[in-house]
């Protein structure tokens, strides 16, 4: 089976020094950006005692676990164990690292390097992301959007491209991009997205 990219966030929503939990391909990941702007997606599990790295903190180019402060460098290798400051951490202590890339204002992740770069949504502006407690197919059908990872169509009379992130059988996230430049259009589109979420979560079916 070919390896697929999954969109997990708008680039602008993950500024330097931020770490947050995301789900891609059924895996829980800690998505974070270093001080220099490097994006990374790691298994959301500290090699020490399995606590969530997404609760951790970024300092410089390293992510540290909030629980006992073990810190990990760009390759997922353990850099420091505060309880043993003189110890050189063994190479075997490593976080499982996924591939992360940015394209078209979106952050994409994959379990290992896909053959092709992430899909390019074209010259569009990011609008917002929203999580919907409903399955991907039902949401796209209700919205009248066509496509798979990048679904396209019109909402509130405005052309949109939606990067679709399946999270579970009854949950997905939509990362919405649009060519609409005016504030009024963007507000109307955002309201339409909120209405779409309410209808999808109420179990409304496409006509
Ligand atoms: S669980 Fe992460 S440092 Fe202990």
% the chain with pLDDT above 70: 99
Residue ranges of domains in the chain = 6-110, 125-201
Nearest CA to ligand 1 atom 1: 49
Q: In the structure, what pLDDT confidence band is assigned to residue 207 with cuts at 50, 70 and 90?
A: low
Residue 55 CA to ligand 1 center (angstroms) comes to 11
Closest approach atom of ligand 1 to CA 68: 3
Count Cα atoms within 13 angstroms, Cβ side, for 52.
Answer: 12
Closest approach atom of ligand 1 to CA 51: 1
Q: Which CATH superfamily is domain 6-110 in?
A: Rieske [2Fe-2S] iron-sulphur domain (2.102.10.10)
Residue 92 CA to ligand 1 center (angstroms) comes to 15
Give the tens place of pLDDT for each residue, 3-42. Answer: 899 999 999 999 999 999 999 999 999 999 999 999 999 9
Closest approach atom of ligand 1 to CA 47: 2
* Helices and strands (DSSP H and E) totals, the chain: 2, 15
Question: Which residues are CB-contacts of 3 (< 8 A; sequence separation ≥ 6)?
Answer: 110, 111, 112, 113, 114, 115
Q: In 3D, which of 10, 13, 32 has the Cα closest to residue 21? A: 32
Residues lining ligand 1, Cβ inside 6 A:
46, 48-49, 51, 65, 67-70
Nearest CA to ligand 1 atom 3: 68
Backbone phi, then psi, for 152, in 5-degree steps?
A: -125, 155
Q: In the structure, what pLDDT confidence band is assigned to residue 1 with cuts at 50, 70 and 90?
A: low
Contact 124, 105 (CB under 8 A): yes
Closest approach atom of ligand 1 to CA 56: 2
**pLDDT value of residue 3:** 81
**pLDDT value of residue 123:** 86
């Amino acid at each position: 089976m070919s390896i697929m990219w999954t969109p997990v966030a708008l680039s602008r929503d993950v500024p330097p020094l931020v770490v947050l939990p995301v789900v891609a391909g059924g895996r829980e990941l800690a998505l974070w950006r270093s001080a220099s702007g490097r994006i990374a997606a790691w298994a959301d599990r500290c090699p020490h005692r399995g606590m969530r790295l997404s609760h951790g903190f970024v300092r410089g180019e390293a992510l540290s676990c909030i629980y006992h402060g073990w810190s990990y460098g760009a390759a997922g290798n353990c850099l420091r164990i505060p309880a043993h400051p003189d110890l050189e951490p063994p190479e075997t202590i490593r976080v499982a690292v996924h591939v992360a890339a940015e394209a078209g204002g979106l952050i994409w992740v994959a379990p290992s390097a896909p053959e092709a770069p992430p899909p390019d949504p074209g010259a569009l502006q990011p609008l917002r992301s929203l999580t919907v407690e409903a399955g991907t197919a039902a949401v796209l059908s209700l919205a009248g959007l066509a496509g798979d990872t990048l679904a396209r169509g019109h909402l509130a009379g405005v052309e949109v491209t939606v990067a679709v992130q399946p999270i579970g059988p009854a949950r997905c996230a939509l990362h919405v991009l649009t060519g609409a430049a005016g504030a009024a259009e963007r507000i109307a589109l955002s309201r339409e997205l909120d209405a779409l979420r309410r209808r999808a979560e109420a179990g409304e079916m496409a006509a």
